[in-house]
Amino acid sequence: MAKRAWTKQAVANDLGISSSKANRKQAHKHRISFLAPLTQVAKHNWRAFYQTLLGQIRKPFSTLLISGIIGIAMALPCGLYLLVINLQAIEDQWPHEPQLTLFTHKKVSYFEAQNLAKKINNLPGVKSIKVLSPGSAMEEYRHIVGLGKNELLPEQKLLPSILIIAFDSQSIKPDMIKRVKEKIEHLGQTESVHLDQTAVEKLYKLIEIGERSILVIGTIFAVGVLLIVGGTIRLEIQSKHNEILVIKLIGGTNAYVRRPFLYSGFWHGIFGGLLAWLLTLTAVMFLSNPVADFAQLSNKIFNLVTLDMQSTGILIGSSALLGLLGSWFSVGRHLAKVEP
């Protein structure tokens, strides 16, 4: 290779720096255009976006490890959400059958109790009444406690009659039941009237607990994901200490240095979200057979509700957001410490 002559002009042209004004102008033509700040930021964003993605694909093991942790953390509240959604679907299918249980005074005879039942039957909304005599109530009690037929209970004579009042579930409203209850209490001869909570109502309360649990567990695991991503990004910053130092020394802005780490956190979140989605779907598939058996046994048409498009979007989106936030906190805390 012929050695190049280092004439003053040749070097000047190469470097674009010279005392001559003409050369100055030439050099300025090559400088950055008016819109450059915007386009360069967009360009670097795009580059950081795909380079961090490539970086994670090139290290499948560590990527799988981190997204696995995030995925499990995201899948738990997600699974709980599905559980609640499905319980709600069960609850919707079960008819609400509100009922009142009435205990007569102990002195009220079985015959009087039957008369009372007739009166109550005329009240609005009442569908049917079942009267349990003190004897049959006793039989039931004996059965539950496991007493023999000849064994006497000391207070046997003092047992009341019991009226079980069922309402028409289609037309009755909760406040109507309350009014009927008050009217019954005014009829006299009653010791006490109880509003029975049916299994469905108990299920409804359970669903409420479930909904709150999603909030609590979701918050806890969201903080967990923030910490996981934050810690991962901290390690990434530590391992790229030299690179950050050099970029800062040659004029890289903080935003330029920050960008790849933010995108890295974003990708951790995306992969974690995808894995959570996959885990949840697998769990649903695993459960769908026994659930179908259960539905058949209870004569119900019931399909497991799985993640729809919207909840999948929310799952992966919130996971990506958590990844971004986690790296944002970490970068804010640790990047400032890396100064030349």
Which of the ranges 13-21, 127-135, 277-285, 315-323 carries the binding residues for other proteins, by CB under 8 A? 13-21
Which listed residue (25, 30, 149, 186) binds other proteins by CB under 8 A?
A: 30
Residue 15 Cβ vs other proteins, minimum distance, rounded to whole Å: 5
Which of residues 34 and 286 has its CB atom nearest to other proteins in the complex?
A: 34
17 near other proteins, judged by CB under 8 A: yes
338 near other proteins, judged by CB under 8 A: no
15 near other proteins, judged by CB under 8 A: yes
Which listed residue (63, 181, 243, 338) binds other proteins by CB under 8 A?
A: 243
Residue 228 Cβ vs other proteins, minimum distance, rounded to whole Å: 25
19 near other proteins, judged by CB under 8 A: yes
40 near other proteins, judged by CB under 8 A: yes
44 near other proteins, judged by CB under 8 A: yes
Q: Tell me the backbone φ, ψ of residue 190, rounded to 5 degrees.
A: -105, 140
Residue 12 Cβ vs other proteins, minimum distance, rounded to whole Å: 4
Could you tell me how many residues of this chain bind other proteins (CB under 8 A)? 37
Chain residues in the site for other proteins (CB under 8 A): 1, 4, 6, 8, 11-12, 14-19, 27, 30, 32, 36-37, 39-41, 43-44, 242-243, 245-254, 256, 339-340
